[in-house]
């Protein structure tokens, strides 16, 4: 075979060979990247390998060994480039990607379209922010003096309304956070209206038929295409099943999931920037609020979750007199479609109409509070958004609850700790309150427990009078105090606190002058009496005594053994050097920096040796050694500078 034929065969072998060696190289170093990052890394490595092999072959592609050298160098360069790309990634993102273990399906056109859509939406939001005097908070140099003459709360409300979609919903959620925002901001954000354009009946009908798998007429005898409610995520309609039951059909808007993910991504970036750059953002922790909001919205996108929550709470409320939870028709409900029983009544916000119907509004409010507290403190799963629009007074006098998309869960330990917290605040016992907080919250080793107990004592002296019960505002103040001490408050506890504030507002709307603390104290006492009656207490005491019996039997022997070891001087203590995750992370970070610095220095020494090799030492391949010498020096400088930059970011001292 002549030289040209041999070269053609080598080229045929080269392409699949490059693919194989690149795959082996990435697997050896454990790199798992997205398809785009992997493709770029491999292409760059291939180009470098071909270039170096061409230089070594004396710039002759047909030289013997060209394909062999290319494959060997591709194997090496693929690992180098892959690690180099990882070094450019944002810290923490690679670890989260490895934990997920996901591989992205190549969809370049959809990715480009999403990026363009996000860019246009970001520009639109920036324009709205500038028009309302908030452009400088997003990095814009100029301030809008004309717009800033108006109070910032009013400008924020108008800006959120103009942004629409998830931003209006975020403002509505923020209006319930009396623990974070001042009264002026709460009052202004409460005026937010979700003025969304109605989706066409034809588009909504197509969604319903795709979810049902049948035409609308085969499932519903009647369907009123005029929405009874419209929000950013879904629209609701009145309908009648062929079996005769009156139902409400909740349908997700077409394509809303993509729009929501786009807006949530932009929202999280904006709130992170505001929290980093403004004192108000840091004070009110707006990025944390946005993250909690984003998690809740993503859960609301799956109507099956709402259906399960409704059914579960309905079972727990079955024995509660005067409480009605709508039935879910699971056979017709899907991820984007929810069919539930229609309730015949009036909204809780119509207190005058309720009184005209002949019902005692205070008794209704007490019944609603009893049901909500049972969900929170006994059952564990509770409705987290009982605003007046989600509470109905039915024609027969029952109270109906709807829209279980926002719920919270409290495990038994959290419930017990929460009851102890409420009791300790009522008793003004700071030590008991600190103990209850330590059982449910994450308290770091750097928290001064004595200072925390003093702060809790001052908090109770300010917010709780002698013998007074606890209201929602006091509970919010307690959570805010814990956050200032750097104590991690569980999200479920925050959800409970927010739900209690919303419930307090609904009770006041339903029955003006209704006192949540007074009624809650009486209901909680009844719960305690039912749970800790004399018979129950006797059984609990027996159970606890039987549980402690093995420990009590071993206690004298252990005490005698310890005393003997102390007397002989043989008592030993074992200390764990890495008892916390913070210690492990610190040591790991230090070891990584030392290793990176050592590798950088070693690479620099090797590179200098390669550059020192002259033509007298090596007759051929001088360019090869020179090239690797300069590449090695560059890598050495990058590694050492990376270590220095990390030290500077953490502080020179």
pLDDT digits (tens, 9 = 90+) for 564-579: 777 777 767 666 666 5
- Rounded to a whole number, what is the distance in angstroms from the first to the last CA of the chain? 69
With residues binned 3-state (H G I as helix, E B as strand, rest as coil), the percentages for the chain, rounded to 5, are: 65, 5, 25
C-beta separation of 277 from 140 below 8 A: no
Contacts of 430 (CB under 8 A, 6+ apart): 424, 453, 454, 456, 457, 460
pLDDT tens sequence across 126-172: 888 888 887 766 665 566 666 667 888 888 888 888 887 778 877 77
Spell out where 131-290 has E strands. Answer: 220-223, 229-230, 234-241, 246-252
pLDDT at 29: 54
Strand partners, 151: none
pLDDT at 103: 41
Scan for tokens 């693919």, then name that residue: 19
In this structure, the strands spanning 345-347 and 229-230 are unpaired
pLDDT at 163: 84
Secondary structure class of 335 (helix, strand, coil): coil
| Total residue count of the chain as it appears in this document | 653
pLDDT at 466: 47
pLDDT at 86: 61
Instruction: Give yes or no for residue 326 having a pLDDT over 90.
Output: yes
Instruction: Give yes or no for residue 313 having a pLDDT over 90.
Output: yes
Q: How far is CA 472 from the centre of its chain?
A: 24
Q: Could you tell me the pLDDT band of residue 248, with boundaries at 50, 70 and 90?
A: very high
pLDDT tens sequence across 91-130: 444 444 444 444 444 455 666 777 788 888 888 888 888 8
Rounded Cα distance, 519 and 369, in Å? 8
Q: How far is CA 177 from the centre of its chain?
A: 17
C-beta separation of 527 from 512 below 8 A: no
pLDDT tens sequence across 37-64: 667 777 787 788 778 877 776 666 666 6
Rounded Cα distance, 253 and 233, in Å? 6
pLDDT tens sequence across 588-604: 778 888 888 888 888 88
Angle 458-500-165 from CA coordinates, rounded to 5°: 115
pLDDT at 298: 85
C-beta separation of 97 from 36 below 8 A: no
Closest CA to 313 of 246, 385, 255, 393: 385
pTM above 0.75, yes or no: no
pLDDT at 268: 87
Is residue 339 within a helix (H) or strand (E), and if so which, with residue range?
strand 337-341
Mean of the pLDDT values across residues 192-205?
A: 81
Secondary structure class of 590 (helix, strand, coil): helix
pLDDT tens sequence across 358-385: 888 899 999 999 999 899 888 889 998 8
CA separation, residue 570 to residues 468, 567, 574 (Å): 54, 8, 13
Strand partners, 347: 392
Specify the higher pLDDT residue, 242 or 616.
Answer: 242
Q: What is the mean pLDDT of the chain?
A: 77
Instruction: Give yes or no for residue 432 having a pLDDT over 70.
Output: yes
């Amino acid at each position: 075979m002549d030289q040209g034929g041999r070269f053609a065969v080598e080229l045929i072998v080269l392409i699949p060979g490059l693919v194989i060696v690149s795959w082996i190289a990435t697997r050896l170093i454990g790199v798992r990247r997205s398809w785009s990052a992997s493709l770029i890394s491999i292409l760059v490595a291939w180009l470098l390998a071909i270039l170096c092999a061409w230089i070594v072959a004396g710039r002759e592609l047909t030289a013997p060994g060209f394909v062999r050298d290319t494959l060997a160098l591709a194997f090496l360069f693929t690992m180098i480039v892959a690690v180099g790309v990882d070094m450019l990634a944002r810290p923490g993102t690679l670890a989260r990607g490895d934990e997920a273990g996901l591989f992205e399906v190549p969809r370049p056109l959809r990715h480009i379209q999403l990026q363009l859509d996000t860019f246009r939406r970001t520009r639109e939001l920036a324009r709205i922010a500038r028009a309302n005097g908030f452009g400088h908070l997003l990095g814009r140099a100029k301030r809008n003096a004309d717009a800033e003459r108006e109070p910032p709360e009013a400008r924020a409300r108008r800006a959120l309304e103009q942004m629409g979609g998830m931003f209006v919903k975020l403002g509505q959620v923020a209006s319930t956070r009396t623990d974070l925002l001042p009264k002026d901001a709460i009052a202004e954000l409460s005026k937010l209206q979700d003025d969304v354009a109605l989706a066409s009946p034809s588009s909504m009908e197509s969604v319903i038929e795709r979810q049902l798998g049948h035409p609308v007429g085969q499932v519903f005898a009647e369907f009123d295409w005029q929405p009874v409610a419209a929000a950013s995520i879904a629209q609701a309609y009145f309908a009648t099943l062929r079996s005769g039951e009156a139902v409400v059909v909740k349908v997700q808007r077409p394509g809303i999931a993509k729009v929501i993910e786009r807006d949530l991504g932009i929202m999280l970036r904006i709130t992170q920037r505001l929290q980093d750059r403004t004192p108000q953002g840091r004070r009110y922790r707006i990025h944390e609020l946005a993250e909690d909001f984003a998690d809740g919205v993503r859960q609301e996108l799956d109507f099956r979750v709402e259906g399960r929550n409704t059914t579960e709470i309905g079972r727990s409320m079955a024995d509660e007199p005067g409480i009605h939870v709508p039935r879910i028709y699971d056979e017709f409900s899907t991820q984007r479609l929810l069919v539930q029983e229609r309730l015949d009544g009036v909204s809780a916000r119509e207190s005058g109409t309720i009184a005209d119907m002949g019902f005692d509004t205070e008794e209704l409010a007490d019944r609603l509070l009893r049901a909500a507290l049972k969900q929170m403190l006994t059952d564990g799963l509770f409705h987290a958004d009982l605003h007046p629009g989600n509470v109905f007074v039915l024609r027969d006098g029952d109270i109906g609850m709807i829209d279980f998309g926002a719920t919270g869960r409290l495990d038994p330990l959290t419930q017990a700790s929460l009851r102890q917290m409420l009791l300790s605040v009522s008793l003004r016992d700071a030590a008991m309150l600190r103990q209850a907080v330590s059982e449910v919250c994450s308290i770091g080793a750097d928290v001064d427990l004595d200072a925390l107990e003093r702060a809790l004592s001052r908090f109770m002296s300010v917010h709780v009078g002698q013998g007074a019960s606890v209201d929602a505002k006091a509970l919010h103040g307690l959570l805010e105090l814990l956050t200032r001490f750097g104590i991690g408050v569980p999200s479920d506890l925050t959800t409970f606190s927010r739900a209690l504030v919303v419930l307090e507002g609904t009770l006041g709307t339903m029955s003006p002058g209704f006192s949540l603390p007074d009624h809650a104290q009486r209901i909680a006492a009844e719960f305690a009496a039912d749970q800790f009656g004399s018979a129950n207490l006797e059984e609990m005491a027996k159970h606890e005594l039987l549980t402690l019996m093995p420990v009590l039997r071993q206690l004298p022997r252990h005490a005698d053994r310890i005393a003997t070891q102390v007397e002989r001087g043989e008592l030993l203590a074992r200390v764990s050097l890495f008892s916390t995750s913070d210690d492990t992370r610190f040591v790991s970070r230090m070891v990584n920096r030392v290793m990176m610095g050592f590798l950088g220095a070693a690479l620099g020494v090797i590179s200098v040796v390669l550059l020192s090799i002259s033509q007298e030492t090596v007759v051929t391949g001088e360019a090869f050694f020179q090239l690797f010498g300069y590449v090695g020096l560059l890598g050495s400088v990058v590694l050492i500078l990376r270590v220095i930059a990390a030290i500077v970011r953490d502080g020179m001292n």
